[in-house]
Amino acid sequence: MNVIECKQLVKMQRNQKTLDHVNFSIKENTITGLIGRNGAGKTTLLKIIAGYWRKTAGDINVFGVNPFNSLFVSANTIFVDDQMSFSNSLSLLDLLEEAGRFYPNWDMSLAKRLFDYFGFLPNQIHENLSKGKKSTFNMIIGLAAHCPLTIFDEPTTGMDVSVRKDFYRALLKDYLEHPRTIIISSHHLEEVEDLLEDILLIKDGRVHLHLTVDGFKEYAVGLRGNSALIYQLVNEEDVLYTNRVGGEYVIVKNTFSHQQAKRLGLEISPVTPNDLCVYLTNTTKGGIDDVFKTS
């Protein structure tokens, strides 16, 4: 069953297409990483999925209905980001108790265990927390809600490394016990790749790739060796990145014969998902060193 289906989805903002004919679907009970550079359209897409914003054109269905202003989608979805705000008249403990009134699957036991583990005090006020502490508390709400569709938009903003690791560990353990559809938008792909089942890469408001994590890891490889031999083996359009510092090194789509590459004396190396994401979203095939070339 597909929880989310997008067909030719368009969103216009200030006469510009933030989302440009987006097509994809997300299955039930999977963890999907939404990846892309700042301004690629990730948050816009997530807010449309959550029912916060109205689409401009195309079709989007969440749980089989248009999510905009849908009470059903709202009751079954939680959207967690660093802009979450709560009443200053309620303490953090009050907020946990009130969450139980709204979310039918609310797990107060989990919420309190996480609350204590991360060192929160019952009478603290959300607005008075540091940025990292706010993100940590928001994460607790997102996990304990056990919503069928759980969306984390850059959930670890302000968290230090150890807290981020704890968050990812908690998310995985809770997901295994209570499977649901989770979307994580993150700039730390290297930290979340082991959690993900699928990767949805957005570039310039369009879906650039939608693959399983294994498929993403195998999408491209690095080649090092003689430039002429490399381009004898691969097509120009398959080249994602070029670095000539210390010899010809290119990142190319993994669509060529590895045996032939070895016969040509070329060295093949894997590419990390995080690096591949950078190469796929670059506007050029070169690197920062090219900026400083004067001739």
pLDDT at position 161 over 60: yes
Predicted confidence band at 289 (pLDDT cuts at 50, 70, 90)? low
Q: At 176, is the pLDDT very low, low, confident or very high (cuts 50, 70, 90)?
A: very high
| Predicted local confidence at residue 189, as pLDDT | 85
Please state the φ and ψ torsions of residue 118, each to the nearest 5 degrees: -90, 10
pLDDT the model gives residue 147: 97
Q: How many helices (H) and strands (E) does the chain have?
A: 11, 13
pLDDT value of residue 293:
62
Residue 282: pLDDT over 60: yes
State residue 59's pLDDT score: 97
295 band by pLDDT with thresholds 50, 70 and 90: low
| Residue ranges of domains in the chain | 2-215, 220-291
Angle between helix 131-144 and helix 108-117 axes, rounded to 10 deg: 160
Percentage above 70 pLDDT, the chain: 95
Overall average pLDDT of the 224-246 stretch: 86
Is pLDDT at 291 greater than 60 in this prediction?
A: no
Element (H, E) at 72: helix 71-75
What are 74-132's pLDDT values in tens digits?
999 999 998 888 999 999 999 999 999 989 999 999 999 999 999 999 999 999 999 99
- Give me the pLDDT at residue 294, please: 57
Q: How confident is the model at residue 187 (pLDDT cuts 50, 70, 90)?
A: confident
Assign domain 2-215 to a CATH class: alpha beta
Helix ranges (H only) for 119-272 are: 131-144, 161-177, 189-192, 213-217, 227-233, 258-263
Q: State the Cα–Cα distance between residues 148 and 135, nearest whole angstrom.
A: 21
* pLDDT for position 188: 75
Q: According to the model, what pLDDT value does residue 191 have?
A: 84
Q: How far is residue 85's CA from residue 48's CA, in Å, rounded to a whole number?
A: 19
Amino acid symbol at 121: L
Q: Which of 9-23, 121-135, 229-243 has the lowest mean pLDDT?
A: 229-243
Contact 229, 268 (CB under 8 A): no
CB distance 67 to 50 below 8 Å: yes
3-state secondary structure 109-156: HHHHHHHHHCCCCCCCCHHHCCHHHHHHHHHHHHHHCCCCEEEEECCC
| Cα dihedral sign, 118-119-121-125 | negative
